[in-house]
Amino acid sequence: MPLKKDLVLVTGAGGHTGTNVVLQLLHAGRSVRATVRRAEDAQRLRAWGCEVIQGDLTQPFQAHAAVKGCNAVYHCAGVHKRHALNPEREIIQPTLEMSEGILRACKREKVKKVIYASNAIATGLTPNPSQPLNETQWNEHPLLPYARAQTLAEQHARAYAVKYNLNVSFVLPSFVTGPYFYHSTPHIQFILDFIQRRMPLSFEGGWQVVDARDVARAMMACEQNGKPLERYLLAGEFATVQGYLRMLENLTGIQAPAFEAPKRVALVVGEVADALSGLARASTFISRELVEECMGTYACYDTSKARRELRFKPLHAEASLKDTLEWAREKGFWIPSRG
């Protein structure tokens, strides 16, 4: 296959962020190569005009085939789930292997720019929302497997980029919402659990949502203006968990849980949910690790650097949630009650 001029690779193109990056790049007239694992994602992306490589990026030969001939790489691939029976094997190790494989291939192919999608959880959580975290901070004691995977993978990627002088910039989105998801993610699942009435309680905490379309636009800006080895936090307006549940209640008519569980109660519920999750081999809305890491803490971040250098202007939370719900309804994730 002849190489295209200005070919751009998007890894994890079947995921929520990856899909939005692909759509934004295509809209800008770029030639896009996309990596996916699922056949249905490959079919959809080919219909959009992408060159598609379907396979497993933990395999070095797959990573090299994906990167070959590309000028820029948007690395969005990873294992985006909260729980697993074997977190090390199912979440942490594959995320590290994908990151390492792509960067090795970028070094070999002399890629001009890598835009690496990490997650804001890699900077940690703050006990006080009036004291937001910034890009200089790291999550020193991540408990959730996803948090450990994102933190370790970004640290390893940074060390590799320093060692081999790769032009890598890192974007760290917070709680990603918005349309164009074809599979659930931990963030989208929170919304789906609410509208499917699988959320019997609330808990102390809060975060900043960021629309996936805004993340994609920031990543494209990062290709042009992002500085090597710099991190850019991407997050929108802050609200407590109760605040977001009230937004969802206003948008859907579904009553938000009135009970905000104290930590001791939430831990018990998390242990029961872990047991049920293991039996059913499926994720639940809460877990003991989730309670221990997130309850009483806040995903609150200073985004002034991204606003200044990437011209990041996030959509309001309620507008993003509204579009998320409309997409979920359109794609059959949610069938509103007629009653």
pTM: 0.92
In a domain, 256, yes or no: no
In a domain, 262, yes or no: no
**CATH, residue 71:** 3.40.50.720
In a domain, 154, yes or no: yes
In a domain, 96, yes or no: yes
Helix axes 145-164, 93-109, angle to 10 degrees: 20
What six digits make up the tokens of 142? 């991540």
Quote the domain boundaries for residue 310.
Answer: 7-183+208-236+299-317
In a domain, 44, yes or no: yes
Contact yes or no for 179/319 (Cβ under 8 A): no
In a domain, 50, yes or no: yes
- Total count of domains within the chain: 1
What six digits make up the tokens of 83? 């729980």
Q: Phi-psi bin for 47: left (phi > 0), alpha (psi -120 to 50), beta?
A: alpha
In a domain, 327, yes or no: no
In a domain, 135, yes or no: yes
Note down pLDDT in tens along the chain; length 339 residues.
334 568 999 999 999 999 999 999 999 999 999 999 999 999 999 999 999 999 999 999 999 999 999 999 999 999 987 777 788 999 999 999 999 999 999 999 999 999 999 999 999 999 999 999 999 999 998 888 899 999 999 999 999 999 999 999 999 999 999 999 999 998 998 899 899 988 877 888 899 999 999 999 999 999 999 999 999 999 999 999 999 999 999 999 999 998 776 666 555 656 656 555 554 445 555 565 665 556 678 999 999 999 999 999 999 999 999 999 999 999 999 877 654
Nearest to 45 by CA among 62, 31, 56, 58: 31
